Chain A
Amino acid sequence: MKLLVAVKRVVDYNVKVRVKADKTGVETANVKMSMNPFDEIAVEEAVRLKEKGTATEIVAVSLGVQQCQETIRTALAMGADRGIHVLTDAELEPLAVAKLLKAVIDKEQPQLVILGKQAIDDDSSQTGQMLAALLGWSQGTFASKVAVDGDKLTVTREVDGGLETVALKLPAIVTTDLRLNEPRYASLPNIMKAKKKPIDQTSPQDLGVDVAPRLVTLKVEEPPKRQGGKKVGSIAELVDKLKNEARVI
C-alpha cells in the first residue's frame, strides 16, 4: 500500500511568537522553523506501517516556500522514501492546501493519506477533513490508534467524551492526535541518506489549482495581558482571598 503524508513548515513550538508592530501578522523572520509536531506524528505512523510491511512506499508532500524542502528532508530522514514540494510564496489557506494535495493525490494514487490534526500556527484543524471531502473519501480524524485490515481501516479517535472507534473504507484520510505515537529522532546515517532521496518540485500553476485566499486578515493583535504574579503565603489566605476578594467560592 502506498502512503502519502503532508508536512507543514511552521514556527517551532518552543518559540514565543511576537505580533508585528504593523499588526499584519506575527514575526516569522529569523525565527526557528520546524515541522508541525502533529505532522511528525503522521510521518512516524507512516514509517511504522512500512516497518510492519503494511505500506510499501511513503511520499512526503510539503507546500510553500523554498525552505519547505528542509521539512521534506526531515520526513525523508525519518523514513519517507521520496518527496514532492509544491513551491509557492503565496499564503495558503486550508482550502487551497486541500485542493493542491488533491491534485497531487490524483496523480500519486495513495491508499492512505496521513496528516496532522492541526497546524500549530493557524490552529485551523481543517485540511484533512477538507481533503477527504474533495476526494469523496472516508476520514479518521484525531487518531490515537490506526489498524489496517485488508481494505478496511480501524481508527480510534480522541473525542470530547473519551475515545471513539470507527471503521473506514480505504482509501482514507487519517489525521493524527498526540497519543498516536512518539516520533523518532532521525539518526545521523539516516539524515545523510535522506540527502540522496529525490524531491520533485511542482507548483500550483502546474497542478492547475487556484490558491487565491478567501479570507482577508484585517489585523493581528496581541491578546490582552493578564495581571498575574501575586503570591499568597498560605492556603488559609488563599481561601480567604477567593471568598472575600475574588468572590468565586
Chain B
Amino acid sequence: MAILVVAEHSNSELKAATLNAVTAAVAIGGDVHILIAGHNARPAAEAAAKVAGVAKVLLADAPAYEHPIAEAIAPLVTKLAANYSHVLSPATTSGKNFMPRVAATLDVAQISEISAVVSPDTFVRPIYAGNALATVQSKDKIKIITVRGTGFAAAAATGGNAAIETIEAGPAQDLSSFVGAELSKSERPELTAARVVISGGRGMQSGDNFHLLEKVADKLGAAVGASRAAVDAGFVPNDYQVGQTGKIVAPELYIAVGISGAIQHLAGMKDSKVIVAINKDEEAPIFQIADYGVVGDLFKLVPELSDELDKVKG
C-alpha cells in the first residue's frame, strides 16, 4: 500500500501544512510519496525529500503548474491516484480547490478535513463548525482526503533522504488561466503554523488599531489574525480570518482581543492549547472557553500587555 501526499509549496519552498499531511499519511500506514507539481520547483522537491517518513518524491515540473490551478493539477493527480490506496492533501485553499475535482473524476467520495486517523478506512472529521465530530468509514477503493493541519503534528522537516523521480506533466488545459495575485506580505509567521496567534475583532474599531496587536505579536513571535467581523469591516485582509470558513488554527497560545466569540470564530481556534481573551464585555461568550480572561478596555490593556512582556522577557 502506498499513499500519495500532494504537497503545498511555493516552488522554492515546501509549505508547513504539507508536514501535517505527511503525519496523517504515516498514521494511515504504508509508503508515503510526495507529489510536487510546480514550475522550477526542484528546491521544493529537495525539501520534500528531506522530510522524515517520506519514501519517494515525484516532481512534475511544467510552466502550467507555476500556480496551483485546479484544472491543471487535478488531471495529473487523478492519473497518479490509480497507483495509490490514499491521496492526501492539506486542507488549504489550494487543496480544497483541486481535490474534489480528483475525487469526482475517480467517482469516489472525498473525506474533507480529517482531524484523526482511526484505521486505514476510518477517519474523524469535524462537522457543524466543529460542534460535532463524525467518525466516517470509506467504502471507496481510493480514498481522497484533505487533512486539517491542527489535527496532526508536523512531520520533521529533516532526517529523510528520499529519491526524487521526475514525472511527466499532465495534459495541457485551456479552461482556466492565472491572471494575478495580491498576496499579503508579512515578516511574521504563517497563521496556521505560528506558535502564538493574536487576533482582533470588531472591538479593534479600525485597521490602524491593529498595530497595537502587531506590537505584541513581534514580542511573542506571533502571527496576527482576525474575526470575520473585523475582516468584513475592512480592518484587515481576508487572509487574516480565523474561523469555520477561514483558517483553522491551534497554536500553543491564542490571544483574542475585542472578539465576542461567535461559534463560527470559536470553530477556528478552540483547539488552541491556551486561550486568552481580552474584552470589555464580561458576558462575552469568548470568556467561557478562555483559560485566562481579562475584562477591560483593550486600548488600555493591550499596551499594558506589551509593556509587561518587555519586563518578563527583559
Q: What does the 1/0 interface line of B281-314 toward A look like (CB < 8 Å)?
A: 0100001111111110000010011001101110
Contact count band on B: 35 or more
Interchain nearest-CB distance for A182 vs B (Å): 9
User: Which residues of A (147-163) have their CB < 8 Å from a CB of B?
Assistant: 154, 157-163
Indicate if the CB atoms of B276 and A93 lie closer than 8 Å: no
Q: Which of B138, B291, B305 contacts A214 (CB 8 A)?
A: B138
Complex Cα distance A206/B176, Å? Answer: 33
Q: Are A239 and B309 within 8 A (Cβ)?
A: yes
Closest chain A CB from B53 CB (angstroms): 24
Q: What is the CA–CA distance of A163 and B97 in the complex, to the nearest angstrom?
A: 14
A193 within 8 A of B: no
Interface size on A, residues (CB 8 A): 82
Determine the chain A residues whose CB is within 8 A of the CB of B292 once the complex forms: 230-232, 238, 241-242, 246
In this complex, what residue of B is CB-closest to A139? B70
- Determine whether the beta carbon of A17 is less than 8 Å from that of B71: no
8 A Cβ contacts from A72-87 to B: none
Interface membership of B237, Cβ < 8 A: yes
Answer yes or no: A90 CB below 8 A from chain B CBs.
Answer: no
A126/B112 in contact, CB under 8 A: yes
Q: In the complex the two chains form, what is the Cα distance from A129 to B245 in whole Å?
A: 17
- Which of A93, A223, A242 is close to B132, meaning CB atoms less than 8 Å apart? A223
CB contacts (< 8 Å) of A248 on chain B: these are: 196, 252-253, 273-274
Please judge, given known A-B contacts A133-B100, A162-B183, whether A125 and B112 are in contact too, CB under 8 Å.
yes
Contacts of B253 in A (CB 8 A): 242, 246, 248-249
Q: Tell me which of B74, B104, B136, B294 has the highest count of chain A C-beta atoms within 10 A of its own C-beta.
A: B104
Tell yes or no: B166 within 8 A of A by CB.
Answer: no
A165 at the interface (CB under 8 A from B): yes
Stretch at the interface among A49-57, A114-122, A184-192, A195-203: A114-122
Q: Cα distance A231–B282 when bound, in Å?
A: 9
Which B residues are CB-close (under 8 A) to A11? 128
By the criterion CB–CB under 8 Å, are A123 and B103 in contact?
no
Contacting pair A139 B176 (CB below 8 A):
yes
Cross-chain contact B239 with A160 (CB below 8 angstroms): yes
Does residue B109 face the partner (Cβ distance < 8 Å to A)? Answer: yes
Q: Which residues of chain B come closer than 8 Å to A154, judged between CB atoms?
A: 179
Asked if A95 and B103 sit within 8 Å, CB to CB, the answer is yes
Main secondary structure of the interface of B (DSSP, over half): mixed
Q: A139-B71, A216-B137, A220-B133 are in contact. Are A165 and B180 (CB under 8 A)?
A: yes
Q: How far is the CB of B134 from chain A (nearest CB, A)?
A: 5
1/0 per residue, CB under 8 A from B, across A99-142: the answer is 00000000000000000011011111111111111101111111
Is B112 in contact with A165, judged by CB distance below 8 angstroms? no
Q: Which of A179, A242, A246 has the most CB of B within 10 A?
A: A242
Given the complex, which residues of B lie within 8 Å of A121, measured CB to CB?
127-128
> CB < 8 Å: which of B129, B237, B311, B312 contacts A123?
B129
Q: Which residue of A lies closest to B91 (CB)?
A: A125
**CB within 8 A of A161: which of B109, B138, B183, B289?**
B183
The reply to whether the CB of B42 lies closer than 8 angstroms to some CB of chain A is no
Task: Map CB proximity to B onto A212-247 as digits: 1 under 8 Å, 0 otherwise.
Answer: 011111111111001111111011101101110010
Q: How far is the CB of A139 from chain B (nearest CB, A)?
A: 6
Judge if A146 is at the interface, Cβ distance under 8 Å.
Answer: no
- In whole angstroms, how far apart are the Cα atoms of A222 and B133 in the complex? 6
Q: Is B86 an interface residue (CB 8 A)?
A: no
Q: Which residues does chain A contribute within 8 Å of B282, judged by CB atoms?
A: 231
Partner of A218, one of B97, B111, B136, B308: B136
Decide if B174 is an interface residue (CB 8 Å cutoff).
yes
Asked whether B231 lies within 8 Å of A123 as measured between CB atoms, the reply is: no
B181-A161 in contact (CB<8A): yes
Q: Does A178 contact B (CB under 8 A)?
A: yes
Q: Which B253-284 residues have a C-beta within 8 angstroms of A?
A: 253, 263-264, 270, 273-276, 282
CA distance A210 to B133 in the complex (A): 27
The reply on B94 being an interface residue by CB < 8 A is yes
Identify 5 residue pairs between A and B in the complex whose beta-carbon atoms are under 8 Å apart, listed by A's number: A139-B101, A160-B94, A162-B237, A178-B232, A226-B275
- List 5 additional contacts besides A127-B100, A133-B102, A228-B275; criterion CB under 8 Å: A95-B110, A129-B101, A168-B175, A179-B232, A232-B294
Q: Footprint of A on B, CB under 8 Å?
A: 67, 69-71, 74, 92-94, 96-105, 107-113, 122, 126-140, 174-184, 192, 196, 220, 228, 231-232, 237-239, 244-245, 247, 252-253, 263-264, 270, 273-276, 282, 287-295, 301, 304-305, 308-309, 311-313
